[in-house]
Structure 1
């Protein structure tokens, strides 16, 4: 029997979580010019004075954080603790003439991972370099940002279609802050501003993959083994990693029509999480991928609505090759509205349709797990602000009626002071089958708590 990719299902979360949430809605409705900075001048001046008191030749901010978490049930393939890290982030910025230099570095101690060898691509080890870049404007209509940076665009809330920038799915599932869902890219971003439209061009000279589920911290269902797999047998990969040969290109052409923001997208690169398997070595691979997409976002009734779609053109021959992900069509519709005082609700419907489905069925070996032609996903977010907005209570639920599984995220955070915040939450997976996406992670359900001091 031919093996399907050991990591195909784990990579699958990229598809129905959308290419795959920081739980970020990348295109925000903008305030008119003149309102965005209203009332901030005095605060900015005070901040500058405080930074000058530090006596440093650059601006320095950051935080110190402790975070612990445990699984809510036993997992034979992982440790009982899901997270136990102490994290120090230092964010340095320096402006020199027309250039602004930024460096953001995280220092991590985590006995749960028990891995301190630095790997800047996977984020494992003692140091995670989040940003190291320079920003400048060589022309009035042009901005440039070169180096390691966090990139995002699109309209989804924790669902990504046209955002083909690296994600850290391990962070997302073990209880780190949602900002860590976004992994860094080593790229050149050029933004052009014209009278009727704007254009973003992002070139990545060497492929930046997701920090995908590989078994090191989260167990998953391996279709080749037909069983769960974890840290005792981590995924091995064949990475496209040649500079300027295994590169990526992402484009976004966008403009507003009244209050509605519209955009066209293009991506040429590779599946961000493993989407294939090397027949000879058994290693997971990252097949070539092109994506064409569009989005629109704007006010509807008393809230904000968004639509987004994308056509995923997988590597040649993917439809008839069970070792390579098929091409796909993806669609997202969402709506967000304040339904009571400081209570916001948001819903989304997501469709992922596998193309060349008949060829896919014909290519499967006997007894192999079969994907549905259509995967449906519904999300609900509820956010409540309390105690003069010093406390935030949030709930986010994914549910797939086609797979009959789901994933509930909940979080409560409280600002003790302007600089200190405490929080707690959980990641709870449920499903009737172990081979479905959320179902396979049931043994990874966890609760966590954290304390952060900002400076």
Structure 2
């Protein structure tokens, strides 16, 4: 029986898959380029103003105060004495240090959850015909202590975040090629039609929220018109999620019948053939009666290894997705809705217990300010298995039958204090049918334009160790960090 799909769609409200050795992760938070945002605003004059967030204008919103590029100035005693630092060669970025520990004993992992020093360097070069962008991270990670660089998994001492060129051959056409961060959809930390790679390893151990999005090596073509805006993304070689493998975050292994970690590392079959194992994604969007509406399509592979061969090796089965979303103002707040149907192309009948079943995912959310500088948002997320009868009949004797539908409720609270220099935020996922959840909290304080301090935690809970979040209880951790922007 394949490993229960536990982290393929952590923020999607996904139902764990059956008979797989690889834990599933949800299927990708970046900043969109300014030229594209200008185009979208020109073609969407009635779009409601939304909080700044993790990515492009249509990305899920994050609490303010966590982004590296915020420009609010802290009025503290440091302002006059801290001389601004200018990096050479026009570089921008930051240096930071983070440390965190597990608060629950885990015999399969180190007690230190994060211990790293990181320097991010970025540079934009604008010419008459093109804009070149480079962003890379140099870091030392005391927990993994890996020297060999792997740009696909982000391990080593260097992670290439962006390396791309943007050209505009026509007034209504943008082409961006190279390594880039991509974000679609309207969910808040819930990704349904966003099939770009994610990195929940970073998310769960306390790295900055920007690292939830892993980079894509792709070509994005954006066309703008008064009828609709269209984006097409082609990834010539499959980009998987940076999913849980057990080397840093423990998980429930049904084959062993217990929590596993460094003693049961998952090594799936790679899909790395150029142009034959590729991905296509498309989006058409426009404003209708004040609502941002969008249609999506995807053809590629499950972003985490949701299949298992007869020999027991996990792999990424083929996947196709169609869906839609909307977002707009309702009664002083912002209403969001999104849905997508997942076609598991290697098991359309749903009768193979070793390949994840097809399913339908949806969410409905609402956000508004409920008090002075206090914002609340809530989401209901559902996932319905397709061909449930076929799946149930094909399970091995004695195997547990999953619920046909998984329910997840999310709640976010964000409070700004001390002239908006202090940001307190909390986000909770709770599944009423699986009786488990995940609570993440942050407190960040801006000493001035340059310095930011942060503390927080990732708390997992559940009544059983084989449920989606319950299996992660031993990964509960607290962390602190300090960052210097330049």
Give the alignment's TM-score, normalised by structure 2. 0.86
- Given candidates 245, 265, 273, the residue that maps to 1:214 is 245
The SS at the match of 2:263 is helix
Q: Would you say the 8 A contact 1:264–1:293 is kept in 2?
A: yes
Q: Would you say the 8 A contact 2:110–2:143 is kept in 1?
A: yes
- Given candidates 301, 304, 321, the residue that maps to 1:270 is 301
Q: Does 1:114 align with 2:114?
A: no
Equivalent residue, structure 2, for 1:411: 442
Equivalent residue, structure 2, for 1:66: 97
For residues 148 and 399 of structure 2, the distance between their equivalents in structure 1, rounded to whole angstroms, comes to 37
Q: How many aligned residue pairs are there? A: 436
Equivalent residue, structure 2, for 1:9: 6
- Given candidates 349, 362, 382, the residue that maps to 2:380 is 349
1:24–1:14 distance in 2 versus 1, CA, 3 Å: farther
1:137–1:21 distance in 2 versus 1, CA, 3 Å: closer
The equivalences for 1:24-423 within 5 A come to 32=45, 56=89, 59-280=90-311, 282-317=312-347, 319-423=350-454
* Deviation by residue 1:33-81 (Cα, 9 ceiling, x = unmatched): 9x99xxxxxx9xxxxxx9998663xx31010000000001100110001
Give the drift of 1:32.
4.8
Larger RCO (alpha carbons 8 Å, 6+ apart): 2
1:19–1:444 distance in 2 versus 1, CA, 3 Å: closer
* Deviation by residue 1:309-348 (Cα, 9 ceiling, x = unmatched): 0000002335111110000001100000000000000000
For residues 51 and 330 of structure 1, the distance between their equivalents in structure 2, rounded to whole angstroms, comes to 48
Structure 1 stretch 344-353 or stretch 357-366: which is displaced more? Answer: 357-366
Q: Would you say the 8 A contact 1:23–1:178 is kept in 2?
A: no
* Deviation by residue 1:277-325 (Cα, 9 ceiling, x = unmatched): 1222x22110000000000100000100011000000023351111100
Q: Would you say the 8 A contact 1:24–1:157 is kept in 2?
A: no
Structure with the higher strand share, 1 or 2: 1
The SS at the match of 1:235 is coil
For residues 427 and 86 of structure 2, the distance between their equivalents in structure 1, rounded to whole angstroms, comes to 42
1:239–1:52 distance in 2 versus 1, CA, 3 Å: same
* Deviation by residue 1:401-447 (Cα, 9 ceiling, x = unmatched): 01000000000000011110000000000000111010000000000
1:422–1:14 distance in 2 versus 1, CA, 3 Å: closer
Q: Would you say the 8 A contact 1:147–1:187 is kept in 2?
A: yes
Q: Would you say the 8 A contact 2:380–2:410 is kept in 1?
A: yes
Q: Give ranges in structure 2 of 5+ residues lacking alignment.
A: 15-24, 50-70, 72-82
Equivalent residue, structure 2, for 1:20: 27
Give the drift of 1:199.
0.2
Q: Would you say the 8 A contact 1:10–1:220 is kept in 2?
A: no
Give the drift of 1:367.
2.4
For residues 356 and 25 of structure 1, the distance between their equivalents in structure 2, rounded to whole angstroms, comes to 38
- Given candidates 458, 466, 474, the residue that maps to 1:435 is 466
For residues 102 and 376 of structure 1, the distance between their equivalents in structure 2, rounded to whole angstroms, comes to 41
Q: Would you say the 8 A contact 1:25–1:154 is kept in 2?
A: no
For residues 313 and 12 of structure 1, the distance between their equivalents in structure 2, rounded to whole angstroms, comes to 15
1:21–1:134 distance in 2 versus 1, CA, 3 Å: closer
1:89–1:67 distance in 2 versus 1, CA, 3 Å: same
Give the drift of 1:116.
1.9
Give the drift of 1:16.
1.6
For residues 91 and 336 of structure 1, the distance between their equivalents in structure 2, rounded to whole angstroms, comes to 33
Structure 1 stretch 64-73 or stretch 14-23: which is displaced more? Answer: 14-23
Give the drift of 1:192.
0.4
1:206–1:14 distance in 2 versus 1, CA, 3 Å: farther
1:55–1:206 distance in 2 versus 1, CA, 3 Å: closer
For residues 436 and 54 of structure 1, the distance between their equivalents in structure 2, rounded to whole angstroms, comes to 47
* Deviation by residue 1:159-195 (Cα, 9 ceiling, x = unmatched): 0000000000101100011100000000000000112
* Deviation by residue 1:138-176 (Cα, 9 ceiling, x = unmatched): 111100100000000100000000000000010110001
Q: Would you say the 8 A contact 2:282–2:298 is kept in 1?
A: yes
Equivalent residue, structure 2, for 1:40: none
Equivalent residue, structure 2, for 1:39: none
Q: Root-mean-square deviation (CA), in Å? A: 2.5
Q: Would you say the 8 A contact 1:384–1:394 is kept in 2?
A: yes
Q: Give ranges in structure 1 of 5+ residues lacking alignment.
A: 37-42, 44-49
